[in-house]
Amino acid sequence: QQQVKQSPQSLIVQKGGISIINCAYENTAFDYFPWYQQFPGKGPALLIAIRPDVSEKKEGRFTISFNKSAKQFSLHIMDSQPGDSATYFCAARTPTGGGADGLTFGKGTHLIIQP
């Protein structure tokens, strides 16, 4: 059972364009939604995150849009650059109450920005 569904699996965008990656979740108990960026040979690194009481969060060229009623959230990368080429993961925090909440990840989107 996949609790966080991510699409598309791969995406090619021209330099300067807008990259959009979508995620949908099922568990209404999720309380924190981060996006991670992973370059080849590296570990995932936090890019931007949002809590469900906020509909949008922007940090530089990166924006998360969150729709609580639809249980969907998306990452928008404005003015996409070749250096943004990476694998992007959406995630949702699974509250355990034990002080060690883990993340449930989407399956990832391989983004290529063409120069």
Binding site for another protein (CB under 8 A): 32, 34, 36, 38, 41-46, 49, 87, 89, 93, 96, 98-105, 107-108, 110
* Residue 80, helix vs strand vs coil: coil
The nearest distance, CB 58 to another protein, in angstroms, is: 18
The nearest distance, CB 113 to another protein, in angstroms, is: 18
The span from the CA of 50 to the CA of 63, in Å, is: 10
The nearest distance, CB 75 to another protein, in angstroms, is: 16
Task: Report helix, strand and coil shares of the chain as percent, to nearest 5.
Answer: 5, 55, 45
User: CB-wise, 79 or 101, nearer to another protein?
Assistant: 101
Amino acid code (one letter) for 92: A
